Chain A
Amino acid sequence: MDQFKHLINILARPYIMFPAMIAAFFFVFPPTEGLMKINRRLGLYKLWTNKGGVAIFSFMIASFAFGLTDENFRLIVTKPDNVPIVGLIFLVVFFLWLAMKQGWDNDARQAKGLKPNEAEDAKENILVWPDLVYIELIALVIVSALLIFWAVSLHAPLEQPANPTVSPNPSKAPWYFLGLQEMLVYFDPWIAGVLFPTVIMLGFMAIPFIDNNRKGLGYYTFNERKMAISIFLFLWLILWIFLIVTGTFLRGPNWNFFGPFEYWDIHKLEALTNINLSEMIYMIFLQKQMPSNILLREIWGILLVVGYFTLTPLILAKTLFKDIFKSLGPLRYSVFIILLLLATSLPIKMFLRWIFNIKYIIAIPEFFLNI
């Protein structure tokens, strides 16, 4: 049993878990026809059937129940402020399943030349009183009851009085910002804390203007909007929800990583000494002294970053995103690709860190400018 838990602890490490998640993601939510075929062949779509739902939830509940037998797992999961996140996991998975199930059902109907379920329903009009009003009332009652049960059974946390001189270890932001705090491991605060949130907000606002696919309005579908849904879910599930879960449950003292069954040992040490790209180039490859001129020193990183945001879009437009480029047009495409590249810069930076131990691609601490 211990061996098994140990294995899970190892598997949960970001540099194993995260690539695995990404890899699996694109098979489960295939953005392209090619991947879709693989998905079909593997039968992954079966997840979005009733049986699949039962399987998913049985698995989740079973693992959770198993986890609760472990002291360390129990300790962190039942922390009052973490309970909503446990709820969040189950809710997200449930609604993901619900949406995908309806989507695949509708896709199957459309494959047969039928209209989606919603379209069938929409033919008929229903008076709002009492059907909808009553349903809503019932929902309110359920939520009220839930809140009261929750409030009675779980005390809101109140720790020691505020002490500005003693910081708890770890100090965590509120859970809904833990994604940003997790990004802080890989980016400087001005990127993780300011640039990314702003871009996320603006990017979300831009979605209706980028997505010019007229299909899929008002009904669940996957096939008709594979690319859009896949990208959205990647951002939302992997880069937001998953990072929050990691930040809440798997980050312990000194922001070190701890497996779900691992004791939060405050003494745990990790090799966190990383190297800047410029140091790597000059000191390790060229065995030379670092140039004193900042621009000269960081030119490689600057070229890389500029290249990433200029050359990659061009290359992608010619290759992978050829169709998209065609349908979006240059302006929409540029906005889309810049946003996408910004989003993917996070996993890219993560991989650079894990594989090459890179700290900053551009490191100009003199101006607080590190990328």
Chain B
Amino acid sequence: MSQPTQTDSKNTSAENSPMMNRRTFLKWSTIGWAAFAAVVGGYGTMVLRYLFPNVLFEPKQEFRAGLPTEYQIGEVSERWKDAFGTWIIRDQEKIYALATICTHLGCTPNWMPNEAKFKCPCHGSGFYSTGINFEGPAPRPLERYRIFLADDGEIVVDKTKKFQQEKGEWSDPESFISV
């Protein structure tokens, strides 16, 4: 029932006032609605920014692991095994951080220096010092953590990011430090 009046008012608003300048009309309403759109955008931005707090109370996933020179070439360091579940290994060209979680059922393997391998005590999976699995039921190599050098030259290991060999991620520059 309101149909006719609606169309009426639409027509009249523009034409019916002789002194009205169509240009001014457009100008002001453009400014008004543009500003209104900006306001709505501003509200949206407010909500968006509000969703990102300035501080987090999450447990630390990064740890500092000393200077690269503290690791010998060919060494499998167990320094951070208990505290952070990480082995740091240095070979001829690079340093990388291996997760101490067996890919079979999540046990913690042991490093056997004499046999130069990781051996999982649960089901006997074996891994080379590179993390590649070679014996036992483990379906895939151990995972590597993100590793990089801090400003002061110390190694930082970031456990939030993992690299899996079978996905070809070990060539990612963040998965090792070249020395």
Contacts and interface: CB of A to CB of B under 8 A. Distances in A.
Direct contact of A and B (CB under 8 A): yes
A269 B105 contact: no
A218 interface: no
B50 to A, nearest CB: 23
Interface residues of A, number: 7
A365 B168 contact: yes
Given A267-B137, A269-B139, A365 B167 contact: yes
B168 A166 contact: no
A190 to B, nearest CB: 15
Interface string A245-273: 00000000010000000000011010001
Nearest to B123: A267
Interface in B139-179: 139, 166-169
Contacts of A269: 139
Contact of B105 (A266, A273, A365): A266
Nearest to B167: A365
Contacts, number: 9
A365 B167 CA distance: 9
B106 interface: yes
A204 B169 CA distance: 38
Contact of B106 (A166, A273, A365): A166
Contacts of B105: 266
Interface in A270-306: 273
Contacts of B106: 166
Q: Kindly name the residue among A166, A266, A267 whose own CB sees the greatest number of chain B CB atoms within 10 A.
A: A267
A267 B137 CA distance: 8
Interface in B92-150: 105-106, 137, 139
A192 B105 CA distance: 27
Interface in A182-221: none
Contacts of A273: 166
Interface in A155-169: 166
A254 B106 CA distance: 13
A129 B106 CA distance: 64
A45 B71 CA distance: 75
A269 B137 CA distance: 10
Nearest to B59: A164
Interface string A330-371: 000000000000000000000000000000000001000000
B52 to A, nearest CB: 20
Contacts of A365: 167-169
B23 to A, nearest CB: 36
Nearest to A266: B105
B107 to A, nearest CB: 12
Contacts of B166: 273
A102 B166 CA distance: 54
A355 B105 CA distance: 31
Contacts of B137: 267
Nearest to A254: B139
Q: Which 3 A-B pairs have the closest CB atoms?
A: A267-B137, A269-B139, A365-B168
9 contacts: A166-B106, A254-B139, A266-B105, A267-B137, A269-B139, A273-B166, A365-B167, A365-B168, A365-B169
Interface of B: 105-106, 137, 139, 166-169
Given A273-B166, A365-B169, 7 more contacts: A166-B106, A254-B139, A266-B105, A267-B137, A269-B139, A365-B167, A365-B168
